[in-house]
């Protein structure tokens, strides 16, 4: 090996080893150029790098092969090196020469070996970096994750600050129903296609990331808002494209959004999450979308904390009361039952359920309220029975939050039996469910309650997502038709509304479920009930929910008989 070649070698070695010190910029083209020079200097014909994620993949030959240099004459293998990284990835480098080429002497072979090892350690480091990056910024399904979102918010903020941007966080509506309908595999395809659609819509300067499940976050420039909010409000997404028979489902989302104002200082990306997340919570609770963050929302959060704190004391200090709204037979005017509705009376002021139930629903506090209400109801029924008064069946609302309680029936029985109340005096009102997991729980609970002789009803049927199929496969006793399905006077669409109402009532009768209509306010509506054979009504026409003493008086007065005759 002559001095010129040696000098050239050291020069190349320095340049190649320089790459192993660089972390940020790796110019692959230039690097491959250096390797070609090196191969030519030592008359090498071909250099190959193999990369396997683990030794099993190496055995199976399931890896990546990179050919860094090849002059087409690599016939004889002259050197092979294999390294295993601390994470068990395997990297193998092999060098070849042409058959008629003069073999390398010991010194040359040693120098070639040094470069080969350098190259392998560089590949190992780059791969490790890529893998770490993937682990840190992508989830198991290869969607960019929340960390990616936060980091990019910071990056964009550093380049040209975030004014003129909109941040949103969204949750897909009824995605578990889509999965149930078209299968999980197709559901995954729908999710990916929807993600791609949004990713394209936010453009180069935007970001879409998945926070887990069907929850996403997104950042985009304000001028794209119209288009993007349209996509979020509902868009057909295809799947099963390969079968040549493309099918589509509508995907829509509930959205919490924050339009980043000009003077907004993003000291850390968490400031954005603090705004879009409560907006999404609000969108879910109120079932409206999108909800934009504003200052009122943050005062709403303070209220949440206050309600939580005060509720703990409210039960102990008897501030929660059971009010009773009569259920009345529309032909005879007779009271056939009542619904217990809670009222929080504090400092002489009455707080309505809608003001605090959504807060209690955010955690399991609502379950304490429902058990407490059941207890109040059982106490009243016990007293009526002891006083020889007439008693009717009272329904108590139970939140869906109870569905995960495997001992719910036992807990309910424990209260009813403690007051020695006949089981058929109690009806448990539950609302429909949209997820398959909840559906199984709901079915189990309704069956268990029925076995114990406790009545069950589907509350608010027709409000929101209703499915006759879901009703059919659970043995409910009573279907409570929501007031939104009840035709109102002077309604142009009365005839259509009445047709829907009619078919629901007759369907309920067909499958042997009793029907009651909620929110009946006028005599005309009473007539609609009569015309459609729905014999029981609950609503302001008869009475609002009443304090227990007034409810007791209604029995004595028989006031409703005059009202409907
Ligand atoms: P819900 O179970 O559907 O109860 C019926 C609601 O409709 C009651 O409102 C009642 O006052 C109202 N309503 C009755 N008749 C009419 C009418 O003719 N017109 C109109 N516009 N409204 C009528 P309230 O008492 O404010 O309760 C609202 C909701 O709060 C209840 O809806 C129920 O979902 C929930 N809730 C009330 N008490 C409890 C409870 O103890 N536990 C749970 N989990 N939820 C409760
Ligand atoms: Mg109810
Ligand atoms: Mg209801």
pLDDT digits (tens, 9 = 90+) for 252-262: 999 999 999 88
According to DSSP H, which parts of 25-174 are helical? 28-41, 55-60, 106-137, 146-160
Q: Which atom of ligand 1 is nearest to the CA of 429?
A: 2
Confidence of residue 439 (pLDDT cuts 50, 70, 90): confident
Q: Give per-residue burial for 1-10: e unless 16+ CB within 10 Å, then b.
A: eeeeeeeebe
pLDDT band at 487 (very low <50, low <70, confident <90, very high): confident
pLDDT at 547 over 60: yes
The whole-number average pLDDT for the span 459-463 is 85
Reported residue count of the chain is: 565
- pLDDT score of 513: 93
Instruction: State in Å: Cα 422 to ligand 2 middle.
Output: 21
Return the pLDDT at 130: 82
Going from N- to C-terminal start, the domains of the chain cover 3-137, 146-293, 303-564
Q: What is the mean pLDDT of residues 98-108?
A: 93
SS3 96: strand
User: For 206-223, what is each residue's pLDDT tens digit?
Assistant: 999 999 889 999 999 999
Residue 306 pLDDT: 86
> Is pLDDT above 90 for 268?
no
Q: What's the token pair of residue 176?
A: 């578990």
Q: Give the residue among 254, 256, 255, 262 at the shortest CA–CA distance from 293.
A: 256
* Rg, C-alpha atoms of the chain: 35
Does the pLDDT of residue 473 top 60, yes or no?
yes
- The pLDDT score that the predictor gives to residue 24 is 60
Atom 20, ligand 1: residue with shortest CA distance: 519
Indicate if the pLDDT at residue 484 is higher than 60.
yes
Query: How much is the pLDDT for 257?
Result: 95
* Rounded Cα–Cα distance for residues 30 and 15 (Å): 10
Tokens of 102: 């003069």
- Nearest atom in ligand 1 to the alpha carbon of residue 545 is 11
In the structure, which protein residues have their CB atom closer than 6 angstroms to any atom of ligand 1? 325, 341-342, 352-354, 357, 366, 369-370, 373, 397, 399, 459-460, 483, 518-521, 539-540, 545
pLDDT at residue 296, as a whole number? 74
CA of 290 to the centre of ligand 2 (A): 27
411 pLDDT above the threshold of 60: yes
Query: Of ligand 1's atoms, which has the minimum distance to the CA of residue 399?
Result: 44
Q: Which ligand is nearest to the CA of 398?
A: 1
Q: Are 472 and 507 in contact (CB under 8 A)?
A: no
pLDDT band at residue 416, thresholds of 50, 70 and 90?
A: very high
* Ligand whose nearest atom lies closest to the CA of 341: 1
Strands (E) located in 260-387: 291-292, 320-329, 335-346, 349-351
* Whether the Cβ atoms of residue 258 and residue 292 lie closer than 8 Å to each other: yes
Is 433 a residue whose pLDDT tops 80? no
Ligand 1 atom closest to the CA of 341, numbered from 1: 38
* pLDDT value of residue 163: 84
| pLDDT at residue 435, as a whole number | 67
For ligand 1, atom 26, the nearest C-alpha belongs to: 353
Q: What is the mean pLDDT of residues 38-56?
A: 93
The ligand whose atoms approach the alpha carbon of 481 most closely is 3
pLDDT at 491 over 60: no
Per-residue pLDDT at 281 exceeds 70? yes
Cα separation, 216 vs 134, in Å, equals 18
CATH class of the region 146-293? alpha beta
Rounded to the nearest angstrom, the distance between the alpha carbon of 395 and the centre of ligand 2 is 8
376 burial (CB, 10 Å; 0-12 / 13-18 / 19+) is middle
Q: Whose CA is nearest to atom 25 of ligand 1?
A: 341
Mean pLDDT of the chain: 90
Q: Which ligand is nearest to the CA of 343?
A: 1
Tell me the per-residue pLDDT of 501-543, one tens digit each, with 9 for 90 and over.
898 899 899 888 999 999 999 999 999 999 999 999 999 999 9
Mean pLDDT to the nearest integer, 341-347: 94
Structure tokens at 202: 């936010």
pLDDT > 70: what percent of the chain?
A: 96
Strand partners, 419: none
Collect residues with CB below 5 Å from ion ligand 2: 397, 429, 459
Residue whose tokens read 């970001």: 207
What's the CATH code, domain 303-564? 3.20.20.450
Q: How far is the CA of 105 from the centre of ligand 2 (A)?
A: 91
- Of 3.30.450, 3.30.379, 3.30.420, 3.20.20, which CATH number belongs to 3-137? 3.30.450
pLDDT the model gives residue 434: 65
pLDDT at 362: 82
């Amino acid at each position: 090996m002559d001095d010129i070649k040696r000098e050239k070698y050291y020069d190349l070695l320095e340049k190649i080893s320089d790459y192993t010190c660089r972390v940020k910029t790796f110019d692959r083209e230039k690097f491959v150029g250096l390797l070609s020079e090196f191969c030519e200097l030592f008359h090498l014909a071909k250099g190959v790098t193999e990369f396997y994620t683990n030794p099993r993949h190496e055995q199976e030959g399931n890896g990546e092969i990179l050919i860094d240099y090849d002059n087409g004459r690599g016939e004889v293998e002259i050197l092979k090196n294999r390294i295993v990284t601390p994470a068990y990835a395997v990297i193998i480098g092999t060098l070849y020469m042409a058959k008629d080429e003069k073999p390398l002497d010991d010194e040359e072979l040693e120098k070639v070996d040094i470069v080969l090892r350098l190259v392998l350690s560089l590949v190992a480091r780059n791969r490790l970096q890529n893998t770490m990056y993937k682990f840190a910024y992508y989830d198991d399904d290869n969607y960019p994750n929340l960390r990616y979102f936060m980091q990019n918010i910071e990056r964009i903020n550093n380049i040209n600050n975030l004014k003129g941007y909109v941040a949103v966080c969204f949750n897909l509506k009824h995605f578990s129903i889509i999965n149930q309908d078209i299968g999980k595999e197709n559901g995954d395809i729908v999710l990916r296609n929807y993600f791609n659609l949004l990713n394209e819509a936010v453009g180069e300067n935007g970001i879409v990331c998945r926070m887990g499940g069907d929850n996403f976050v997104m950042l985009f420039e304000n001028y794209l808002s119209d288009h993007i909010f349209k996509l979020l409000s509902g868009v057909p997404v295809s799947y099963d494209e390969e079968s040549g028979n493309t099918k589509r489902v509508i995907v829509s989302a509930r959205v919490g959004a924050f339009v980043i104002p000009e003077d907004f200082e993003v000291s850390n990306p968490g400031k954005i999450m603090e705004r879009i997340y409560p907006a999404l919570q609000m969108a879910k609770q109120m079932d409206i979308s999108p909800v934009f963050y504003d200052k009122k929302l943050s005062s709403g959060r303070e209220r949440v904390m206050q309600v939580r704190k005060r509720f703990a004391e409210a039960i102990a200090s008897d501030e929660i009361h059971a009010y009773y709204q009569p259920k009345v037979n529309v032909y005879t005017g007779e009271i056939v039952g009542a619904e217990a509705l809670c009222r929080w009376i504090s400092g002489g002021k009455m707080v309505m359920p809608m003001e605090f139930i959504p807060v209690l629903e955010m955690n399991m506090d609502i379950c304490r309220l429902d058990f407490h209400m059941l207890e109040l109801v059982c106490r009243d029924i016990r007293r009526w029975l002891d006083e020889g008064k007439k008693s009717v069946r009272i329904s108590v609302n139970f939140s869906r939050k109870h569905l995960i309680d495997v001992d719910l029936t036992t807990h309910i029985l424990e209260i009813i039996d403690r007051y020695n109340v006949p089981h058929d005096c109690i009806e448990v009102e539950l609302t429909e469910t949209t997820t398959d997991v909840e559906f199984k729980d709901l079915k189990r609970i309704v069956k268990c309650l029925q076995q114990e002789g406790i009545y069950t009803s589907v509350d608010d049927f027709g409000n929101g997502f209703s499915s006759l199929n879901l009703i059919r496969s659970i043995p409910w006793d009573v279907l409570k038709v929501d007031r939104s399905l009840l035709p109102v006077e002077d309604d142009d669409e009365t005839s259509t509304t009445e047709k829907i109402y009619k078919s629901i009532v007759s369907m309920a009768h067909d499958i042997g479920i009793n029907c009651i209509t909620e929110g009946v306010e006028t005599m005309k509506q009473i007539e609609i009930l009569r015309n459609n054979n729905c014999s029981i009504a609950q609503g302001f026409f008869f009475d609002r929910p009443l304090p227990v003493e007034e409810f007791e008086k209604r029995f004595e007065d028989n006031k409703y008989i005059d009202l409907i005759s």
